[in-house]
Amino acid sequence: MKARKVDVAIIGSGSAGLYALGKIRPSGKSFVLINGGELGTTCARVGCMPSKAVIQVAEDFHRRNIFNRYGVEGHEDMNLTIPEAMEYVQDLRDSFVERVLANSTDKLPKENFIEGYARFVETELLEIDTGELIRAASIIIATGSRPLVPRAWDSFRDRIITTDEFFELEDLPQSLAVIGLGVVGLEIGQSLRRLGLDVTGIDQLEMIGGLSDPEVARTAIEVFGKEMPLWLGHAAEVTEIDNGMLRVQAGEQSVEVERVFASMGRIPNLDKLGLADIGIELDAHGIPVFDPGTMRIGDTAIYIAGDATGERPLLHEAGDEGRIAGHNAISAEPMAFRRKTPLSITFCDPNIVVVGTRFADLDPASTVSGQVHMGPVGRAMIMARNRGLIRVYADKASGRLLGAEMACPKGENLGHLLAWCLQQEMKVGEILQMPFYHPVIEEALQAALYDLYGKVDVKNATPITELVPL
């Protein structure tokens, strides 16, 4: 069969692929967008958006437990109908997916969109499983990822829930073990507990929520451990027992549950592309070696973006990588771009946020830290959410802010403020001369920064409490 020639072929119509398309389509270059499997992006179908809907329902229902403080009566009799709650979540999910499709693949001419799975025949030649051949001057791999489920669990796979299945459920089991307490596991696990399920959280690490600061992790574990059992430091073993239940063991602890929610990470969808067959260098995890500034694989005209890289499985990162790959795919020479400040948010309650340089990656000899506990913070007390800890880090000699880790209310907002300051390479003293309103959660961040400012060598020419003269 004769190959159809185009300037750019994009494999995958998820977030990264669509952002790449946004760069390529206006250029006038010829292109095809190839997609196998479900349409609608991971974020809209099974990720960011429907998970936040579940979290919101659970959080609102959970707030009934403090109504007695306000003098509200009757809250003990409040009930939640799980099937109705799941239907609400699914309706929202469907609207998110429809919006994505209406603004992306639905608007593409038929000749530009191919439904099917692609594999490489050569570095510039793709074969679709329909038999069609596409020869492209540049190719972008944006194939996304899938949840990791151990093969040892295949015999009872029908009782293993991942994000791929969760948002299709019409009802929920009464008991469940969440294995893997990273972002997804912690968000979903806490939400399910607040919806009334018996939930046990398990992780082979001693940390949760992607934290690396032992002080913040200790606080987070204490807070979340009051809502559900947390078994940390041992790998989980799952076996099927006679009554149709699953036995989950971790160390010396054991529990019988109806279902397991597997949140142990995601696998880039690269294994069926045939990359090794065309001589592409792969790392130990089977991921192509690429330049994160250009998204280019080796010296080829192949680019990679989004979850397929295995590095930053976040929508805003996928968007940036898609834009970079799209720009370079239509350029004569690839250009390297400065990546944005790392920012990761776990939308549990309290939020867990890691921004800038992680604690584990700091140089202890040149770094100082500041902190504040949320207990006495006025705004947090009024909200009845005064649990958690904020830790901020700076270079001692220069006073430049380096990063932060926190488990605190409104962390999603505080993390953004710090990310903006980090991107501007601000010093701690400069940040403290910015306005802080009263009473707001941001005052907690201000207190942590004051603690940090007292430990850096470089001070402001004008005292922080004074106005800066013109």
Give me the mean pLDDT over the 75-84 stretch.
93
Residues whose CB is less than 8 angstroms from the CB of residue 58 and which lie 6 or more positions away in sequence, other chains included? 190, 191, 192, 194, 195
Q: Using pLDDT thresholds of 50, 70 and 90, give the confidence band for residue 322.
A: very high
- Are residues 384 and 449 in contact, defined by beta-carbon separation less than 8 angstroms? no
Residues whose CB is less than 8 angstroms from the CB of residue 456 and which lie 6 or more positions away in sequence, other chains included? 368, 394, 395, 396, 397, 398, 399, 427, 428, 429
Structure confidence at residue 467 (pLDDT): 78
- Are residues 115 and 36 in contact, defined by beta-carbon separation less than 8 angstroms? yes
Lowest mean pLDDT across 2-16, 194-208, 395-409, 456-470: 456-470
| Segment 217-229, tens digit of pLDDT | 999 999 999 999 9
Residue 469 has pLDDT above 90, yes or no: no
Round the CA-based radius of gyration of the chain to a whole number and report it: 24
Going by C-alpha positions, the residue among 349, 347, 354 that lies closest to residue 374 is 349
Structure confidence at residue 86 (pLDDT): 98
Residue 470 has pLDDT above 90, yes or no: no
- Are residues 326 and 23 in contact, defined by beta-carbon separation less than 8 angstroms? yes
Strand 145-147 to 266-268 pairing: antiparallel
Give me the mean pLDDT over the 67-77 stretch.
91
| Segment 250-298, tens digit of pLDDT | 999 999 999 999 999 999 999 999 999 999 999 999 999 999 999 999 9
CA atoms within a 13 Å half-sphere pointing along the CA-CB vector of 12: 30
Residue 117 has pLDDT above 90, yes or no: yes
- Are residues 282 and 275 in contact, defined by beta-carbon separation less than 8 angstroms? yes
Give me the mean pLDDT over the 426-455 stretch.
97
Q: All domains of the chain, ordered by start, with CATH?
A: 4-40+104-147+267-329 (3.50.50.60), 151-264 (3.50.50.60), 343-453 (3.30.390.30)
| Segment 367-384, tens digit of pLDDT | 999 999 999 999 999 999
Lowest mean pLDDT across 52-56, 106-110, 157-161, 329-333: 106-110
Q: Using pLDDT thresholds of 50, 70 and 90, give the confidence band for residue 63.
A: very high
Structure confidence at residue 185 (pLDDT): 97
| Segment 24-60, tens digit of pLDDT | 999 999 999 999 999 999 999 999 999 999 999 999 9
**Dist. CA 232–CA 201, nearest whole Å:** 8
Tokens for 18, please give them: 């669509």
How many H helices and E strands in the chain? 13, 22
Residue 309 has pLDDT above 80, yes or no: yes
**Dist. CA 324–CA 327, nearest whole Å:** 5
Tokens for 166, please give them: 């969760």
Give me the mean pLDDT over the 209-222 stretch.
98
Give me the mean pLDDT over the 56-65 stretch.
96
For residue 350, say if its preceding peptide bond is cis, omega within 30 degrees of 0: yes
- Are residues 153 and 237 in contact, defined by beta-carbon separation less than 8 angstroms? no
Sheet strands (E) in 123-252: 125-128, 133-141, 145-147, 160-161, 175-179, 198-203, 230-232, 236-240, 246-250
DSSP string, 282-310: B-TTSPBPB-TTT-BBTTSSEEE-GGGGS
Give me the mean pLDDT over the 193-202 stretch.
98
Strand 343-346 to 351-356 pairing: antiparallel
Q: Which one-letter DSSP state was computed for residue 188?
A: H
pTM: 0.95
Which residues does residue 392 pair with via DSSP β-bridges, in sequence order?
370, 404
For the chain, the average pLDDT equals 96
Which residues does residue 441 pair with via DSSP β-bridges, in sequence order?
none
Residue 182 has pLDDT above 80, yes or no: yes
Handedness of CA 350, 356, 358, 362 (dihedral sign): negative
- Are residues 220 and 247 in contact, defined by beta-carbon separation less than 8 angstroms? no
Q: Using pLDDT thresholds of 50, 70 and 90, give the confidence band for residue 213.
A: very high
